Amino acid sequence: MGQTITEKIFNLHIKGKKVKAGDFVYAKVDLALGNDVTAPIAIEEFEKLGINKVKDSSSIVLVPDHFTPAKDIRSAQQARALKDFALRYNVEHYYEIGRMGIEHALLPEQGLVLPGSLIIGADSHTCTYGALGAFSTGIGSTDLAACWATGCCWFKVPETIKFIYHGTRKKWVTGKDLILFTIGKVGVDGALYKAMEFSGHVIEKLPIDQRFTMANMAIEAGGKSGIIAPDRITLEYIKEHPYKGLSTKNKEKQPVLLSSDKDAEYAQVIEINVSEIEPQVAMPHLPSNTLGVSKLKKICIDQVVIGSCTNGRISDLRIAAKILKGKKIHKNVRCIIFPATQEIYLQALKEGLIEIFVKADAVVSTSTCGPCLGGHMGVLAKGERALATTNRNFVGRMGHPESEVYLSNPAVAAASAIAGQIIGPEQL
């Protein structure tokens, strides 16, 4: 019996026999990520171990992005804990304000992810890096602390669900719509502790930014990871963002281009005809509560958020700017735009996108997770509705528990900001 790409990646990171789904393994980790919410807990647990060094400081990445720039004293203290830890243990990949970005957009951009890598992060959307053919998954803060000490982590090798996408995408249908449709089809627990392997000729043609979006939201179907076999598009991306050699013991590491065997065993194979998919909207209060945008009745909104680790890349901002150019945000709507990294912000500035946004009466923020988790920079009041390009719309996710969050792609978000209600761009 052949192996899936996920099983093959684990084979590269353990000693001993060939693994299969269901095995418990103690695997070497290439990259261990923490942010200003999760890393302070890991730091506390690490200090309890009573050791005076980390296993490999160059494999640790610390990104203060959730409550930064610090919104209050407590968030400032949390961010400070990361800085102190980085200084104490010589953590090279610590990203201070002004050099940082939203972690899951920042790491690939900085050349810290390679195909074939095994990556963990104390953040559930760590699964984003599967877009580059890595196995990446979210873990708890105590597991992160243990990995800092040992360089390894325990895993149960997940079974894989293979998703095959065929057909032709309609105009304005993006990776965000494919993953929202998929989550709507299988449910928020439809891929529980499974690797979601995205494949088919639609995926083979999908731009890398949209692949990141799909892998990012695998967790919203309960997935342990999302993954796409590396190909020409992957190689072009890592050529533009060269690997920076995380491990001090393996500075010359090369990408490992793996794919699933034809006779690999899958828990399930699901085929999806994308020709039937229009831009999707996830309605409150689950990412699986999806409907085509044309089927929505009039839903007025108070806020639009364009950005996040899901849809804050330069291609997302270009789409939003294309729709907003020469238009005005509806007088009853506030529109907040978050370039996902400093580099993306600068590129948007060079291309004139920031000017388009400001002239449309939108607000452009520094890179931060901010409103996505109801942290700051766009918290909702009681009874307010937001349409966001983020990844979650649970009760109280962006503020008051009696507020509502709808999810969409950037085109729908921009069009809706102009209309004051949720519509597709072709309806403008």
- Residues 106-132 as b/e (b if ≥16 CB within 10 A, e otherwise) read bbbbbebbbbbbbbbbbbbbbbbbbbb
- Work out the widest C-alpha separation in the chain, in whole angstroms: 63
DSSP 187: -
Give the CA radius of gyration of the chain. 21
Residue 310, token pair as written in the block: 């899901």
Between CA 251 and CA 230 the distance in angstroms is: 21
3-state class (DSSP) for residue 9 = helix
Contact 350/367 with Cβ under 8 angstroms?
no
pTM, to two decimals: 0.94
CATH 3.30.499.10 fits 278-427, yes or no: yes
- Residues 69-92 as b/e (b if ≥16 CB within 10 A, e otherwise) read bbbeeebbebbebbeebbeebebe
| Amino acid identity for residue 11 in this structure | N
Residue 19, token pair as written in the block: 């693994």
Sign of CA dihedral 31, 36, 37, 39: positive
Residues 6+ apart with CB under 8 A from 77: none
Q: What is the pLDDT along the chain (428 residues), one digit of tens a residue?
A: 899 999 999 999 998 889 999 999 999 999 999 999 999 999 999 999 999 999 999 999 999 999 999 999 999 999 999 999 999 999 989 999 998 899 999 999 999 999 999 999 999 999 999 999 999 999 999 999 999 999 999 999 999 999 999 999 999 999 999 999 999 999 999 999 999 999 999 999 999 999 999 999 999 999 999 999 999 999 999 999 987 655 545 555 788 999 999 999 999 999 999 999 999 999 999 999 999 999 999 999 999 999 999 999 999 999 999 999 999 999 999 999 999 999 999 999 999 999 999 999 999 999 999 889 889 999 999 999 999 999 999 999 999 999 999 999 999 999 999 999 999 999 98
Phi-psi map region of 200: left, alpha, beta (phi>0 left; psi -120 to 50 alpha):
left
CATH of 5-272, one of 3.30.10.20, 3.30.70.270, 3.30.499.10, 1.25.40.10: 3.30.499.10
Residue ranges per domain, the chain? 5-272, 278-427
Residue 86, token pair as written in the block: 């980085």
5-272 and 278-427 share one fold: yes
Element (H, E) at 357: helix 353-359
* CA atoms within 13 Å, Cβ hemisphere of 87: 7
Number of Cβ atoms within 10 Å of the Cβ of 97: 15
